[in-house]
Amino acid sequence: MNFENILIATENGIGQITINRPSKLNALNVATIKELHDAFETLENDPEIRVIIITGEGEKAFVAGADISEFANFSIEEGAQLAAQGQELLFDFVEKLKTPVIAAVNGFALGGGLELAMSCHFRIASDNAKMGLPEVSLGVIPGYGGTQRLPQLVGKGRAMELIMTAGMIDAETAKSYGLVNHVVPQNELVEFTKGIATKISRNSPAAISKAIKAVNANFKHDVDGFDVEIRNFGKCFGTEDFKEGTTAFLEKRKPTFTGK
């Protein structure tokens, strides 16, 4: 599959997607969102891929925002459609993937860029990263899930302040807020992230996919997360991974998981 705006690499069960528009600070346009959807779908359907990392090309930006020139003249209906399609195609899609997705945030993650990072299962930042949702300074609000995921991650008060001031926070502040898990020097970011991905890849893909579903359920207002956990816990008992994991434990050896 050929892409104009992104790069894909795979190695040792880890898939890496790199947004490759450095001259535009990797800004998200409609074409890039569609390519990202296709890339995530391709890696999700590859049984060899256990973890996906997403990052941005260059040293300046993960994703510096959406491509404002594309929607500056939109009507009310077109604006709503832009948000709905983007959420369905990419942001909600990533959040619900069975394969774990880690955002390696290198540099600016603003607007749609931070929203993309927040849709991933967790985030690791370079020490020069800057994050924020500046939409209200343009007369609009975050439309790719930012008003929902930011409060989930940092709390309502901090989210309100960040959104209303349109301000940016640095990587260490983001870590103290719980927005990112780790902060590392930029030249170590991808290798550090691959190290965590490797640890994840040794565990049961079948169990991890069910854990993602159960954790996500806690943030859905009309879903009983405990019930989702109970059902997915039960489903684990019907997998080959469960049989392999428990047998390996009892035989005092390392398990070999297939994801089935």
pLDDT, one tens digit per residue, over 144-181 is 999 999 999 999 999 999 999 999 999 999 999 999 99
Q: Is the pLDDT of residue 71 over 80?
A: yes
**Encoded tokens for 225:** 């997360």
Which residues does 158 contact at the CB level (< 8 Å), separation at least 6?
177
CA pair distance 35, 39, nearest whole angstrom: 6
For 83-105, write each residue's pLDDT tens digit: 999 999 999 999 999 999 999 99
Query: In a 3-state reduction of DSSP, which class is residue 229?
Result: helix
Report CA torsion sign: 98, 26, 190, 171.
negative
Residue count of the chain: 260
Would you place residue 13 in the very low, low, confident or very high pLDDT band (cuts 50, 70, 90)? Answer: very high
CB-based contact 111:135 (threshold 8 Å)? yes
- Mean pLDDT over 124-139 rounds to 97
Phi and psi based region of residue 2 (left: phi greater than 0; alpha: psi -120 to 50; beta: remaining):
beta
Active site residues: 115, 135
Give the pLDDT band (50/70/90) at residue 26: very high
